[in-house]
């Protein structure tokens, strides 16, 4: 039976492929926050994780399936290699979801077959239908991906896809796994599949791609023109290496240029019907949430959600925009949910007004989270004359994005100047409740703080990134600090926001250290269980 092809399905893999960005690991609570935001955004499918990869991933997929996988919510998907154990584990994790999908994959390029799988083409041709059918025995919705399809022999690829669809695959995903193809090549690959796989009308063609050459979004749009109807993407384009195709760029390209894309989906060019189910006004706040939770800052010149995306400094541009926005803006900032930078609350504002504004901004906090955020808000309101929506977002994201508080910062104090030696004193409460104080000198105040903290906590690490960003303009702006630490090839991130950039730097560093320490403790616990 042919499947409707008149709209684009948005498959979000922020929680699976996006989380594979170094240092972007999320705990279960953080994954749930992102999943709820993705549901509000209107994505069709959430790939919640790789259940067989770890007990933590299994738990996260299970909880996302339970919390977000409602009858009127998105389809919840779990990734599985083409093995019975992987597929069975994915099915178990997905049970709570009303709409569930198993996404299984097996490489088809000769380079992967020879060096990674050590299998022949004939072996792959027999494994694929067997495993797709096995997945189909658990769920009705099965997706199959021939990994590294972009570098696979097309004729062999057609055979594999035909076998997968015959075995029950309802979606066949074509990954450009290493970000190698160009738009014309990728479009031709999709067209070749449409023309040469006899039963292709029984499945949706999906695409997945990485941005190693900066071509992922362009490749996907070319794929749409040639028959792809599902786009696998991530918020802010996060993901392995150079990342994935960015959801916000794809959605807004299809939104702004829908008259161009309409005919490719069999619609009249002048149709104003949206091509996706995405609520574009949720894009900006979802982007901010993912950025804060993963510790991966959005570059200022990033398309759609970057700080400069709707800024105009050139006098000619400013003059044109003041006369008519269409002179230099192809979309309205409000279409992605970016509100005017207005004063919304002040130091005399009450708890109820604060709660109401948070709901308007898309935050759903527990009573405990609300209490913590309100205390921070009042503290900032005493220091700042103007409190903006951006300030509120920074405060709330800083408060709700708390790693396990094993080490707690009690005091930080610095002394520095152009003719003095930067010195820092810190007091840290240990997981055992003991308060330890130490001091250190450094090349600057932040360096001195980090050296003093290291002396207290005594956790080996390598600082690989320190970045500071102002949330709003002005001398009293909240500063956001993002820290990334490396230990034994694993990356741990920390993020904090404060009107005092020194305090934010100390808190961000300690948050990263807490994540690192929690990881070390978990590894020790696992080792103890194994040895016993």
- Return the structure tokens found at 209: 């791609």
For 229-243, what is each residue's pLDDT tens digit?
999 999 999 999 999
User: Is 51 within 8 Å of 78 (Cβ atoms)?
Assistant: yes
- Range among 115-129, 338-352, 510-524 with highest mean pLDDT value: 115-129
Find the mean pLDDT for residues 54-71: 95
Q: What is the pLDDT of residue 92?
A: 98
The stretch 49-70 carries a mean pLDDT of 95
Task: Give the CA angle between residues 440, 446, 447 to the nearest 5°.
Answer: 55
Higher pLDDT, 90 or 310: 90
Asked which of 55-59, 93-97, 187-191, 257-261 is least confident by mean pLDDT, the reply is 55-59
- The pLDDT confidence band at residue 262, using thresholds 50, 70 and 90, is very high
How many Cβ atoms are within 10 Å of 491's Cβ, its own excluded?
A: 20
DSSP code for 299? P
Residue 172 DSSP code: E
Return the structure tokens found at 398: 């800083």
pLDDT, average across residues 155-174:
98
The single residue listed with the structure tokens 């049970």 is 95
**Residue 314: predicted pLDDT:** 43
Answer whether residue 109 shows pLDDT above 90: yes
pLDDT band at 406 (very low <50, low <70, confident <90, very high): confident
**Homologous superfamily assigned to 9-294:** Aldolase class I (3.20.20.70)
Q: State the DSSP code for 113.
A: I
What is the pLDDT confidence band of residue 416, given thresholds at 50, 70 and 90? very high
**Mean pLDDT score, 216-222:** 98
CA pair distance 394, 385, nearest whole angstrom: 16
- Among 303, 307, 309, 311, residue whose Cα is nearest residue 288: 307
Euclidean distance between the first and the last CA atom of the chain, given in angstroms as a whole number: 55
Angle, helix 183-196 to helix 154-166, in steps of 10 degrees: 50
* 229 closest CA partner among 250, 252, 213: 250
Q: What's the full length of the chain, in residues?
A: 532
CATH code for 408-531?
3.30.160.270
Portion of the chain with pLDDT greater than 70, in percent:
91
pLDDT tens per residue across span 467-516: 888 776 677 788 889 888 999 888 888 888 888 999 999 999 999 999 89
Looking at every residue in the chain, the average pLDDT score rounds to 89
- CB-CB contact of 237 with 219 (8 Å): no
The pLDDT score that the predictor gives to residue 312 is: 45
Global pTM value? 0.82
**pLDDT tens digits, one per residue of 349-366:** 788 888 888 877 767 788
At residue 341, does pLDDT exceed 60?
no
| Higher-scoring residue by pLDDT: 497, 52 | 52
Average pLDDT over residues 29-54: 95
pLDDT over threshold 80, residue 466: yes
Q: Which two tokens stand for residue 12?
A: 């979000």
- Give the residue-averaged pLDDT of 97-121: 95
Q: What is the pLDDT of residue 24?
A: 77
CB 457 within 8 A of CB 449: no
Question: Which residue(s) pair with 231 in the sheet?
Answer: 10, 207
Domain boundaries, the chain: 9-294, 306-337, 339-400, 408-531
Q: How far apart are CA 243 and CA 245, in angstroms?
A: 7
Token couple for 452: 């003093």
Q: Are 436 and 456 in contact (CB under 8 A)?
A: yes
Q: Kind of pairing, strands 479-487 and 462-470? A: antiparallel
């Amino acid at each position: 039976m042919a499947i409707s092809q008149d709209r684009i399905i948005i498959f979000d893999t922020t929680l699976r492929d996006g989380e594979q960005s170094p240092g972007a690991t999320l705990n279960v609570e953080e994954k749930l926050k992102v999943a709820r935001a993705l549901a509000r955004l209107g994505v069709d499918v959430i790939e919640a994780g790789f259940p067989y990869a770890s007990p933590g991933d299994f738990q996260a997929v299970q909880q996302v399936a339970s919390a977000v996988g409602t009858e009127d919510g998105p389809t919840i998907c779990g990734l599985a290699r083409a093995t019975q154990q992987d597929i069975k584990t994915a099915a178990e994790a997905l049970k709570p979801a009303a709409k569930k999908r198993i996404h299984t994959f097996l490489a088809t390029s000769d380079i992967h077959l020879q060096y990674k799988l050590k299998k022949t083409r004939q072996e792959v041709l027999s494994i694929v239908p067997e495993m797709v059918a096995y997945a189909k025995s658990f769920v009705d919705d099965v997706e199959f991906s021939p990994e590294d399809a972009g570098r696979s022999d097309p004729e062999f690829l057609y055979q594999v896809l035909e076998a997968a669809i015959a075995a029950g695959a309802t979606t066949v995903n074509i990954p450009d796994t290493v970000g190698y193809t160009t738009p014309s090549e990728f479009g031709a690959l999709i067209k070749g599949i449409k023309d040469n796989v006899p039963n292709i009308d029984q499945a949706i063609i999906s695409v997945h791609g990485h941005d190693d050459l900066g071509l992922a979004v362009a490749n996907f749009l070319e794929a749409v023109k040639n028959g792809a109807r599902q786009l696998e993407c991530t918020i802010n384009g996060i993901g392995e290496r150079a990342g994935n195709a960015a959801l916000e760029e794809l959605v807004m390209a299809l939104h702004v240029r829908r008259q161009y894309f309409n005919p490719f989906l069999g619609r009249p060019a002048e149709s104003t019907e949206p091509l996706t189910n995405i609520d574009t006004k949720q894009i900006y706040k979802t982007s901010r949430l993912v950025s804060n939770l993963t510790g991966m800052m959005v570059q200022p010149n990033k398309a759609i959600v970057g700080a400069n995306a709707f800024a105009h400094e050139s006098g000619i541009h400013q003059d044109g925009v003041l006369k008519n926005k269409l002179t230099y803006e192809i979309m309205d900032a409000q279409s992605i949910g970016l509100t005017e930078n207005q004063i919304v609350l002040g130091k005399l504002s009450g708890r109820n007004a604060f709660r109401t504004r948070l709901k308007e901004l898309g935050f759903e906090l527990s009573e405990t989270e609300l209490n913590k955020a309100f205390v921070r808000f009042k503290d900032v309101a005493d220091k700042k004359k103007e409190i903006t929506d951006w300030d509120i977002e920074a405060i709330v994201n800083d408060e709700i994005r708390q790693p396990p508080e094993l080490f707690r910062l009690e005091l930080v104090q610095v002394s520095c100047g152009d003719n003095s030696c930067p010195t820092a004193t810190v007091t840290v409460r240990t997981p055992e409740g003991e308060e330890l104080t130490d001091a250190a000198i450094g090349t600057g105040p932040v360096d001195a703080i980090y050296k003093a903290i290291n002396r207290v906590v005594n956790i080996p690490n390598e600082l690989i990134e320190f970045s500071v960003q102002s949330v709003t303009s002005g001398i009293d702006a909240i500063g956001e600090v993002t820290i990334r630490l490396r230990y034994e090839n694993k990356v741990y991130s920390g993020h904090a926001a404060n009107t005092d950039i020194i305090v934010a730097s100390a808190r961000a560093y300690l948050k990263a250290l807490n994540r690192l320490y929690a990881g070390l403790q978990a590894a020790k616990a696992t080792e103890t269980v194994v040895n016993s």
